[in-house]
Amino acid sequence: MASASPIIGFDEFAAYLNKIFKITLSDIKILIREFHTEMQKGLTGYESSLKMIPSYVDRPNGKEKGQYIALDLGGTNFRVLSVELDGRGNASVTAVSKFAIDIADMQGTAEQLFGFIANCIHQFIEENQLDKRIQYDLAFTFSFPVDQTNIAAGKLLVWTKGFTAKGVEGEDVIVLLNEALKKKDIHCIRVAALANDTVGTLVARSYKDPSCDLGVILGTGTNACYPEKLVNIQKWRGLDPKGHMIINMEWGNFNKLRLTNYDKDLDLASPNTGAQFLEKMVSGMYLGEITRLVVQDMIHRGLIFLGSKCTAFEKKGSLLTENMSLVAEDNSANLGEVEFFLKSKGITNITAHDKNILKHVCDLVSTRAAKISGGSIAAVLSWMDPELKNKHTVGIDGSLFEKYPGFARKIKATCKDVFGENALNIEIVHAKDGSGKGAAIIAAVAAQSEK
Ligand code: BGC
């Protein structure tokens, strides 16, 4: 429970909340400096909260061609896709199946999770009547921190986003996938590439737009990747000194941010305490929970719902980021959505004051998240191009970016605050479905280089 500071009245408490959630331009400038220090350490191979993981892939040239199967694991759903690359910069999804992942599979064992994946692939093959005499190249988007050792191999470093399946951390996920495919008698699939979702997003966007040099996910979790000069990756010196390699930053683990007591409580109650601090302040899996902790604190202090000791928000997970989106969307004078949401929680005697407070808390929590996201984007762009002289397209995917009202606008405003007029060189685009398509392109790059 967030420790109760000696604040009693509503006005003082509101001022306190405004203060602890506020992110100023000077905070953003500090964030950028700290990001650069951590990036440098991560690239050199020193201990850093930014893992800066080489992906073994550079941006594509747009000529990659063929049909590929892609798997996308990383959030609440698992997807199997068939992707067609036309060799002229167009990637289209020709078939897709989406499967909800059971908590039992997420938090059970490696056999269960990879068995589930193999079952989904089997179903996809049957439903789409794939010709089993052909060998299909498959790309696996596995959106967790993986220490990659080549384009189709890598060990899971640590689980994030509520996954805890035993027997996967420290193991090569491609070996686990191949074992599961074999067990299920699936022989028409060759696993050709392993990719993080950020890398897929960047690759998919840069397939048709060479100015794209930053891929970002703002969804259940958050992370980013960018192409780094090989000479700067001191921990991994490649053969071609002029070349580039995409670096999966794992920025969700950045740990130089000022935490509120609510953030600390959330962290303590999470399965990965002490890790992923930026992710826990920014991404869709956690924003609802931070808001819940604030509301619950206000209930305990008697500052909301007419001082009633209601228990509607006692339970972890009883307020979701989707609920916040609804609340944020509602601009009507009577705040109908907020009323509807509170009623669904069994709260009846709702005042205009309550509705406004809830809306305000959602705004504080989500604005902080958007500003940290914008600051982190500015940090990577200024690392690549300190004066921001060149054009940069930032491809972003994820439900938070796509659906949370005002989130994208606040990211852009933060970049404008940092770079002034030069921010005109930044184009922020929604790179929808990037991770699946991008993985297919990576598989094509891998197949080409094998030839
Ligand atoms: C993972 C990243 C991933 C991000 C977005 C984080 O929890 O560590 O690898 O890219 O979520 O899905």
Q: Which domains does the chain have, with CATH numbers?
A: 1-55+199-433 (3.40.367.20), 65-195 (3.30.420.40)
| Confidence at residue 236, expressed as pLDDT on a 0 to 100 scale | 81
Compute the distance from residue 371 Cα to the ligand 1 centre, in Å: 19
* Residue 197 annotated in active site: yes
Catalytic residue among 197, 263, 330, 354: 197
- Other CB atoms within 10 Å distance of the CB of residue 66: 17
d(CA 367, CA 376): 14
| Confidence at residue 333, expressed as pLDDT on a 0 to 100 scale | 59
| Confidence at residue 332, expressed as pLDDT on a 0 to 100 scale | 67
Tokens in use for 43?
């690239």
CB 161 near ligand 1, within 6 Å = yes
Which among 382, 398, 207, 373 is positioned nearest to 285, based on CA atoms?
398
Compute the distance from residue 436 Cα to the ligand 1 centre, in Å: 14
| Confidence at residue 241, expressed as pLDDT on a 0 to 100 scale | 72
| Confidence at residue 427, expressed as pLDDT on a 0 to 100 scale | 97
Pocket test for ligand 1, best of 73, 158, 194, 196 (most atoms within 8 A of CB): 196
| Confidence at residue 3, expressed as pLDDT on a 0 to 100 scale | 47
Question: Residue 84: what are its φ and ψ, rounded to 5°?
Answer: -110, 125
Question: Residue 68: what are its φ and ψ, rounded to 5°?
Answer: -135, 155
Number of the ligand 1 atom closest to the C-alpha atom of 253: 8
Q: Which of helix, strand or coil describes residue 256? A: coil
CB 283 near ligand 1, within 6 Å = no
d(CA 359, CA 224): 29
Number of the ligand 1 atom closest to the C-alpha atom of 160: 7
* Residues whose CB falls within 8 Å of the CB of residue 61, separated by 6 or more in sequence, listed in order: none
d(CA 291, CA 299): 12
d(CA 443, CA 151): 9
Compute the distance from residue 223 Cα to the ligand 1 centre, in Å: 5
Could you tell me the mean pLDDT of each successive run of 10 residues in the chain, 451 residues long? Answer: 61 96 98 98 97 92 90 91 91 94 95 97 96 93 95 96 96 98 96 95 92 96 96 81 91 98 98 97 98 97 91 95 90 73 88 91 98 98 95 96 96 97 96 87 82 64
| Confidence at residue 335, expressed as pLDDT on a 0 to 100 scale | 63
CB 200 near ligand 1, within 6 Å = no
Q: How many residues are present in the chain?
A: 451
CB 198 near ligand 1, within 6 Å = yes
Number of helical H runs and strand E runs in the chain = 15, 13
d(CA 45, CA 52): 9
d(CA 449, CA 393): 27
CB 222 near ligand 1, within 6 Å = yes
Tokens in use for 233?
């990756």
CB 215 near ligand 1, within 6 Å = no
Pocket test for ligand 1, best of 147, 218, 223 (most atoms within 8 A of CB): 223
- Say if strands 65-73 and 244-248 run parallel, antiparallel, or are unpaired: unpaired
* Longest distance between any two alpha carbons in the chain, whole Å: 72
Per the DSSP assignment, residues forming a β-bridge with 223 are 217
- Other CB atoms within 10 Å distance of the CB of residue 150: 12
Residues 182, 183, 185, CA angle at the centre, nearest 5°? 60
d(CA 56, CA 411): 29
* Residues whose CB falls within 8 Å of the CB of residue 141, separated by 6 or more in sequence, listed in order: 70, 71, 72, 73, 74, 195, 196, 197, 200, 435, 436, 438, 439
* Residue 433 annotated in active site: no
CB 217 near ligand 1, within 6 Å = yes
Q: How many angstroms separate the Cα of 444 from the Cα of each of 58, 153, 326?
A: 12, 16, 40
Helix axes 321-329, 336-344, angle to 10 degrees: 150
- Between the CA atoms of 137, 143, 149 and 150, what dihedral angle is there, to the nearest 10 degrees? 30
d(CA 251, CA 405): 23
Tell me if 230 sits within 8 A of 238, measured CB to CB: yes
CB 250 near ligand 1, within 6 Å = yes
Burial group, residue 365, by CB count within 10 angstroms (0-12, 13-18, 19+): buried
- Other CB atoms within 10 Å distance of the CB of residue 370: 24
